[in-house]
Amino acid sequence: MKYLRINDLKMLALAMVIFAVLQLLITGHIMSSFWQLNLIIIGINVIMSVSLNLINGYTGQFSLGHAGFMAVGAYVSIVLTTNFQVPFFFAILAGAIAAGILGFLIGIPTLRLRGDYLAIATLGMSEIIRICIMNIQYVGGAAGFKGIPHHTTFAWVFFFMLFTLFFIKNFVNSTDGRACLAIRENEIAAESMGINTTKYKIMAFTIGASFAGVAGALFGHAFYLVSPNSFTFMQSFNYLIMVVLGGLGSITGSIAGAFVVTFISAALASWPEFRMIIYALALILMMFYRPQGLFGYMEVTNTALFRKFLSKPAVKTATDNSEKGGSANG
């Protein structure tokens, strides 16, 4: 299976080229600051949507509270950098760990619930998190936390995004990832195949929450001020839209969803009603005509174009890179 490692390197090289081009556009002041900021937001949104996809798409547990974990990551990291001068990298790490621990603690009771009940419970949990933050005067309460050092650059976002993609891609292509897929497909059968379904639901939820924490930390340091209003359930819905439009169970889809939604939001910033009406219609029409989302379970790395670029497995059929099960060897 050496070909997988070679493919990883190829994808890494491709990513580096993309990074170099974008970075040149930024340092050369060719890209306007408006688009620079949007690029950072796209990167953060990719982390959010891919990590939410691990929970909602791959494991089939419908979470509606992803913004809550983002809030935890943001607040933990901005307190550390602003009040304790902790280096940015470690602050991000701390934010991720805090969000992960909270995800774990929230996951244990709520993941016993199914489908729509879980959706409302996670939404409720994230609102409780937000209301709690609003009532902590140490972090500025409802007015928000001011005077945050501006650490987040495009490079930070890009490499953390790359790490997230790499991590989640490898996870879903492993036995643990397959366990998660099995839970999505048929929980009773998964259990009877020796899979501890509770453990894997919580694992997916915790990993997803940790990456939301990373995204939150990056988001927090992109602005001078962060307030609890940035993490309402409307924000969670926003990430849900990205995942659903892109495809529940496709990393490519989540990336595409993050791009499309961020662009629409930026382009229609002056007409917020239209933006939301478009999302609303897109969600409804998508459920009518293509409920699996734009990409379904497909990955761009499985398309003919990419297959030429990537190495083939030594055995006669592509196994690790099968169409279904969301493999993305990149």
Within 7-36, the residues that bind other proteins by CB under 8 A are 8
Q: CB neighbours of 124 closer than 8 A, spacing ≥ 6?
A: 65
Q: How far is the CB of 121 from other proteins (least distance, A)?
A: 6
- Pick out residues in 53-92 that bind other proteins (CB under 8 A): 62
Torsion of Cα atoms, 141 then 271 then 294 then 182, to 10°: 20
4 vs 97, which CB is nearer to other proteins? 4
Do the beta carbons of residue 179 and residue 200 sit within 8 Å?
Answer: yes
Nearer to other proteins, 26 or 195 (CB): 195
Q: Find the part of the chain contacting other proteins (CB under 8 A) among 39-47, 144-152, 171-179, 214-222.
A: 171-179
User: Is the distance from CB of 60 to CB of 182 less than 8 angstroms?
Assistant: no
Mask: binding to other proteins, 176-215, rule CB under 8 A, as x and -? xxxx-xx--xx-xxxxxxxxxx------------------
The dihedral built from the CA positions of residue 247, 251, 253 and 255, taken in this order, carries a sign that is positive
Q: Which of 270, 231, 197 is nearest to 95 (CA)?
A: 231
Q: Are 249 and 143 in contact (CB under 8 A)?
A: no
The span from the CA of 192 to the CA of 134, in Å, is 44
94 contributes a contact to other proteins by CB under 8 A: no
Query: Of residues 121, 165, 242, 328, which one binds other proteins by CB under 8 A?
Result: 121
What is the DSSP code (8-state) at residue 296?
Answer: T
- Which residue lies nearer to other proteins by CB, 119 or 148? 119
Q: Which of 34, 89, 90, 117 binds other proteins (CB under 8 A)?
A: 117
Minimum Å distance from CB 65 to other proteins? Answer: 10
Q: What binding mask, one character per residue, do residues 256-295 give for other proteins by CB under 8 A, x or -?
A: ----------------xxx-xx-xxxxxx-xxx--x----
**Amino acid letter, 311:** S
CB of 201 to other proteins, least distance (A): 12
Neighbouring residues of 104: CB distance < 8 A, sequence distance ≥ 6:
202, 205, 206, 209
Under the criterion CB under 8 A, does residue 97 sit at the interface with other proteins?
no
* Residue 6 binds other proteins, judged by CB under 8 A: no
